[in-house]
Amino acid sequence: MLAFMALMAPTIINYQPYPIQWDEAYYATRIACMNHAVYGGGVRDIVDCLAGAHKGPIMEVLSLPWGPVGGGEAGIGLAFVSLAVLLWLLAWATYATQIRSGAPAWGLVLAAACICATPFTRAASGSLMTDMLVGWSTALSLAFIPLEYAEPQKALRASLLRGLLWGIALTVGALSKVTFLAFFLPIGLVLLWLRWRRSGLRPLAWALVGAFIAFLPALVIWSLFGRTFLDFAMNSAFGATGAPYRVPGMTLARFVADYFKALGLALVPLAVLLILFVRSLFSQRTGWAWRLVPVGIVLMYLGISSRTGMQEWRYLLPVMLSLPLALTWTPGGQVGRNPGSVAFLISMIVGFYLAVPMVAKPALMPLRHARELMESLTHGAPMEIMFALDGPDYNHEVFQLARHTAYKRFQPVIVDTLAYDEINKRSLAESLDRAARSDYLLFLKPGFTLGPAYTRTRTDEFRKLAETKGKKLDVSSEYDVYQMH
């Protein structure tokens, strides 16, 4: 267990300074929003905060254990700690589930070595994103399949507890990212079938009760805001939002080949696991088809990913984490073995202490500059700041984060952007009208890293409008600021 967790640590714990850019600023904003809603607002504020999210809202709970301090600037660093501890818990639960289902401990260590050697799992370490959460909730959910097959449970208490564990893993995945639905449906159907056939109808009913209790928060949130999550996910995967990231001429064969080439040295332990897995299929004929099911689900997701627009490696973290672990389902281990509460306690203490220094990880200078500029422009009065040109470090999401961490001071201020108007099918006339009606129009100055080319297609027209109808102010070292009339 210690070897497994030690190999997982570089994929979870990272002390390198971390820039709060577009997506990270978005998640940090949602975190601050929920903290203020819980500790300074009410039910209506909580609902409004959830309604403002278009991505999975699991991140919004990360600052809540820290109290009201989690809603300010300090809460960003504390969110890194919470996320690392949550990932550590999911990794440990996956290991314990695999051990209980009879997976050999040395196989799990070999799988951990494969995950640790994968360049992208280490690159994603310590990021304020949901991709690792999706990866580990997928790995844990897939681990339930060998557990249900190898260790049926008929007792009431055991069935309820197992259902609760199902519900927790599925809740984390379902509230992290819509792409988890690609795993949720097949895994759920397989678990229901195995539970019924291996344990019986009544144990299945009690497990469903436990799963429903644990999954209830996700069910409520999805019933209220699921349409928003689905619309954004489908547009990102197959619509206009994902179009700029789509690789022309990409085929399934090329995508899969590129994926395995990118694993680098991780191919060595993965190849060893694959050889041992195939050998076990021939040497142990009992249940050989069921052992192929988790691997098949992972490969199915890999195939689906080749057809979407968002072909970045971070979207394949569920494959990078789950495939090596799925290949450890080979006979030989002791079914029902319990890692023990002492081992769990040691692992959690070590994980927490490793995570604590990550509180100093985020680079917050752009956030502080955004707060200072907002103060000088608005003094907290109801005004609209519109971005015509931004970049990864200085953008409208960072200003939104500055608004929420300052809470009531800048709540009347509206922050918006024109950068995505064209991809969102707004006409040039509509964009120019939005720019003209704002109080301040901002352009990132030359010398700073700019956003993707598709966010800059109308910049010249916005600049002409600003110079014609606005007054340029010398108030920022990062932005050309125009006060619009």
| pLDDT tens sequence across 337-359 | 887 778 888 888 988 999 999 99
- Residue 419 and residue 311 share a domain: no
Mean pLDDT of 420-445: 92
pLDDT of residue 282: 81
pLDDT of residue 469: 92
- Residue 185 and residue 246 share a domain: yes
pLDDT of residue 293: 94
Q: What distance in Å separates the CA atoms of residue 251 and residue 428, rounded to the nearest whole number?
A: 35
- Residue 278 and residue 140 share a domain: yes
Q: How many CB atoms lie within 10 A of CB 250?
A: 14
Cα–Cα nearest to 328, from 78, 21, 54, 115: 115
SS3 466: helix
Residue 237 in this model has a pLDDT that exceeds 80: no
- Residue 405 and residue 284 share a domain: no
| pLDDT tens sequence across 35-44 | 999 998 888 8
Q: What distance in Å separates the CA atoms of residue 383 and residue 436, rounded to the nearest whole number?
A: 13
Answer whether 37's CB lies under 8 Å from 46's CB. Answer: yes
pLDDT mean across residues, the chain: 90
Answer whether 279's CB lies under 8 Å from 124's CB. Answer: no
Residue position matching structure tokens 């199902």: 166
- Residue 252 and residue 143 share a domain: yes
The tokens for 435 are 């720019």
Out of 97-101, 157-161, 177-181, pick the least confident. 177-181
| pLDDT tens sequence across 372-391 | 999 999 998 999 999 999 99
Residue 306 in this model has a pLDDT that exceeds 80: no
- Residue 464 and residue 384 share a domain: yes
Neighbouring residues of 318: CB distance < 8 A, sequence distance ≥ 6: 134, 135, 138, 139, 179, 180, 183, 298, 301
SS3 265: helix
Answer whether 346's CB lies under 8 Å from 275's CB. Answer: no
Q: HSE on the CB side for 100, CA within 13 Å?
A: 20
- Residue 430 and residue 335 share a domain: no
pLDDT-derived band of residue 121, with 50, 70 and 90 as boundaries?
Answer: very high
Cα–Cα nearest to 317, from 173, 479, 165, 120: 120
Query: Using only C-alpha atoms, what is the Rg of the chain?
Result: 24
CA distances from 280 to 109, 150, 285 (A): 18, 15, 8
pLDDT-derived band of residue 68, with 50, 70 and 90 as boundaries?
Answer: very high
Mean pLDDT of 107-130: 94
- Residue 353 and residue 420 share a domain: no
Mean pLDDT of 1-15: 93
Cα–Cα nearest to 317, from 246, 254, 272, 263: 263
Residue 314 in this model has a pLDDT that exceeds 90: no
- Residue 42 and residue 144 share a domain: yes
Answer whether 141's CB lies under 8 Å from 169's CB. Answer: yes
Answer with the one of 322, 357, 392 that is the final residue of a domain. Answer: 357
Residue position matching structure tokens 């928003």: 228
pLDDT-derived band of residue 478, with 50, 70 and 90 as boundaries?
Answer: very high
- Residue 285 and residue 383 share a domain: no
- Residue 48 and residue 72 share a domain: yes
pLDDT of residue 241: 65
Query: Which parts of 105-244 fold into alpha helices (H)?
Result: 105-117, 119-123, 131-150, 156-174, 181-194, 201-238
Instruction: Indicate if the alpha-carbon torsion angle 96, 101, 106, 112 is positive or negative.
Output: negative
Cα–Cα nearest to 316, from 50, 124, 42: 124
Q: What distance in Å separates the CA atoms of residue 214 and residue 166, rounded to the nearest whole number?
A: 8
The tokens for 29 are 């904003």
Answer whether 391's CB lies under 8 Å from 451's CB. Answer: yes
| Structural domain range at position 284 | 2-357
Residue position matching structure tokens 């752009």: 366
Helix, strand, coil distribution of the chain in percent, nearest 5: 70, 5, 25
- Residue 348 and residue 329 share a domain: yes
Count of domains in the chain? 2
Amino acid at 160: L
Answer with the one of 337, 357, 377 that is the final residue of a domain. Answer: 357
Answer with the one of 357, 377, 396 that is the final residue of a domain. Answer: 357
Q: What distance in Å separates the CA atoms of residue 307 and residue 319, rounded to the nearest whole number?
A: 16
pLDDT of residue 190: 95
